[in-house]
């Protein structure tokens, strides 16, 4: 009995989806390793925002978790790994629920700049969330002192996000949109 070729697979991880998510995880891994000498400037957040806007939150979560766990094998694993994953998860939910309804894949220049501004503020949001979680996980007494000390790094993260978004969005979106349309 031959399978019906007209039935479209709606759920699951086919080889193409696994390959795509693996390539995006590798991009995040390499980007994080290459830019590790600049504090908080790396393409991971921008890639996750672009991925969430084009394919959805599930794919964003998968790439976020894999890229953080894999890079932390070399950069150092600890309680901050949980905080990083949770912070990226929060950012992915905000992106998927509140920002994605306003996104379309054929962005005009002004819209790209607005989404780059969201990527900038995503860095600040990530910094706030990771500070909240880190204070709880590591038993730090003063949240505000800890958070304020990290603001320069959050600003670097935001600037890096905006820059990487502007560079990567016109490259990744057509590829991800073609994948989404085809599969």
Indicate which CATH number applies to the domain containing 107.
Answer: 1.10.1760.20
pLDDT tens digits for 11-43?
A: 567 899 999 999 999 999 999 999 999 999 999
Structural domain containing residue 78: 15-182
Q: How far out from the chain centre does Cα 137 lie?
A: 22
Give me the pLDDT at residue 6, please.
Answer: 47
pLDDT tens digits for 126-173?
A: 999 999 999 999 899 999 999 999 999 999 999 999 999 999 999 999
Cα–Cα nearest to 121, from 89, 95, 96: 95
In a domain? residue 40: yes
Compute CA distances 120 → 71, 97, 129, whole Å: 22, 18, 15
In a domain? residue 7: no
Contacts of 118 (CB under 8 A, 6+ apart): 49, 95, 99
Where does the pLDDT of residue 115 fall: very low under 50, low under 70, confident under 90, or very high at 90 and above? very high
Angle in degrees, 0-180, between the axes of helices 143-182 and 44-54, rounded to the nearest 10: 50
Number of Cα atoms under 13 Å in the Cβ half of residue 88: 29
* pTM (predicted TM-score): 0.91
In a domain? residue 10: no
In a domain? residue 96: yes
Asked whether 160 and 44 are in contact (CB, 8 A), the reply is no
Asked whether 115 and 165 are in contact (CB, 8 A), the reply is yes
User: Total structural domains in the chain?
Assistant: 1
DSSP state of 98: I
């Amino acid at each position: 009995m031959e399978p019906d070729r007209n039935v479209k697979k709606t759920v699951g991880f086919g080889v193409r989806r696994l390959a795509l998510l693996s390539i995006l995880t590798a991009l995040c891994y390499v980007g994080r390793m290459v830019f590790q000498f600049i504090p908080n400037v790396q393409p991971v957040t921008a890639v996750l925002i672009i991925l969430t806007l084009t394919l959805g939150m599930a794919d964003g979560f998968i790439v976020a978790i894999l890229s953080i766990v894999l890079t932390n094998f070399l950069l150092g694993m600890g309680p901050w790994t949980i905080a990083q994953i949770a912070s990226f998860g929060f950012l992915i939910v905000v992106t998927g629920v509140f920002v994605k309804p306003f996104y379309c894949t054929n962005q005009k220049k002004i819209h790209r700049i607005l989404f780059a501004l969201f990527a900038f503020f995503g860095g600040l949001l990530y910094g706030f969330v990771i500070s909240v979680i880190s204070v709880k996980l590591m038993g730090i007494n003063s949240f505000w002192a800890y958070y304020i000390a990290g603001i320069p790094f959050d600003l670097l993260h935001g600037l890096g996000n905006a820059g990487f978004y502007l560079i990567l969005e016109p490259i990744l979106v057509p590829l991800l949109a073609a994948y989404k349309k085809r599969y």
